[in-house]
């Protein structure tokens, strides 16, 4: 087998093994030996592909981020044009996916955050862009941001097992968040409540 694809295969097996362990046993049991065992690769091989455990974590996180970025892109494409606020809708829909899927993503983040908080800076950076897009397209930017935040909160709490809502209730709330004409800007509120920043021109 080709050398490059060999490495690729191994690295991939490692990432999948790590995700499986996190999903099955929790982030606390994600050890290098466990990863080696689960992936069928020896520890030496594992350490050849990833210099350290942190490197493995990083790869896992990047994979998960890319996974949800892809979903996000799909929704963006789907909503573009025929939706009054496509970016917002796409992000809410993506959060909904994160909330229902196997909760691996944030549990991985969890494990990472405990040791290396900066591994998540990448994710936050992506969020900044999305926030920009949501603000730009919004009639009432703060309202849009809050809808996004609510969706985010719903997803994170669900993944972390902190969500006090039933599945049905959560689904209903996501629907409401997505239902654009349930969120018309109240006539009285342009409302930049005292907060230094000058209200953006638009």
Partner DNA sequence: TCAAAAAAACCGACCAGGCGGTTTGCATTT
Partner DNA sequence: AAATGCAAACCGCCTGGTCGGTTTTTTTGA
Which residues sit at the interface with a second copy, rule CB under 8 A?
A: 26-28, 110-111, 113-115, 117, 120, 123-124, 127-128, 130-131, 142-143, 145-147, 149-150, 152-154, 156-157, 160-165, 168-169, 171-173, 175-177, 179, 181-184, 186, 188-189, 191-197
Burial (0-12, 13-18, 19+ Cβ within 10 Å), 58: middle
Residue 63 binding result from a second copy, DNA, none, given CB thresholds of 5 to 8 Å by partner type: none
**How many C-beta atoms surround the C-beta of residue 64 within 10 A?**
20
The answer to whether the beta carbons of residues 64 and 105 sit under 8 Å apart is yes
CA angle 169, 174, 180 (to 5 degrees): 135
CB atoms inside a 10 Å sphere around CB 72: 19
Quick one: what does residue 52 bind among a second copy, DNA, none, with the CB cut-off 5 to 8 Å set by partner type?
DNA
Is residue 134 a contact partner of residue 89, using CB atoms and an 8 Å limit? Answer: no
| Interface contacts to DNA, rule CB under 7 A | 1-4, 6-7, 9-10, 29-34, 40-45, 47-49, 51-54
Decide which of a second copy, DNA, none touches 124; Cβ closer than 5 to 8 Å per partner kind. a second copy
Nearer residue to DNA within complex by CB, 114 or 146:
114
């Amino acid at each position: 087998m080709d050398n490059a694809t060999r490495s690729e295969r191994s690295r991939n097996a490692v990432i999948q093994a790590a995700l499986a362990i996190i999903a099955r046993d929790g982030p606390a049991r994600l050890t290098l030996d466990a990863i080696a065992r689960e992936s069928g690769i020896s520890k030496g091989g594992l350490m050849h592909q990833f210099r350290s455990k942190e490197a493995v974590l990083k790869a896992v996180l990047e994979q998960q981020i890319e996974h949800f970025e892809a979903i996000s892109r799909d929704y963006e494409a789907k909503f573009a044009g025929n939706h009054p606020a496509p970016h917002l809708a796409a992000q809410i829909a993506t959060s909904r996916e994160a909330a229902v899927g196997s909760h691996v993503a944030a549990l991985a983040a969890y494990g990472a955050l405990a040791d290396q908080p900066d591994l998540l800076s990448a994710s936050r950076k992506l969020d900044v862009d999305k926030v920009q897009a949501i603000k730009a397209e919004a009639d009432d930017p703060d309202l849009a941001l809050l809808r996004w935040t609510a969706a985010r909160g719903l997803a994170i709490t669900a993944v972390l097992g902190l969500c006090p809502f039933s599945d049905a209730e959560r689904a209903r709330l996501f629907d409401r968040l997505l239902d654009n004409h349930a969120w018309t800007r109240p006539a009285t509120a342009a409302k930049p409540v005292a907060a230094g920043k000058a209200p953006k021109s638009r």
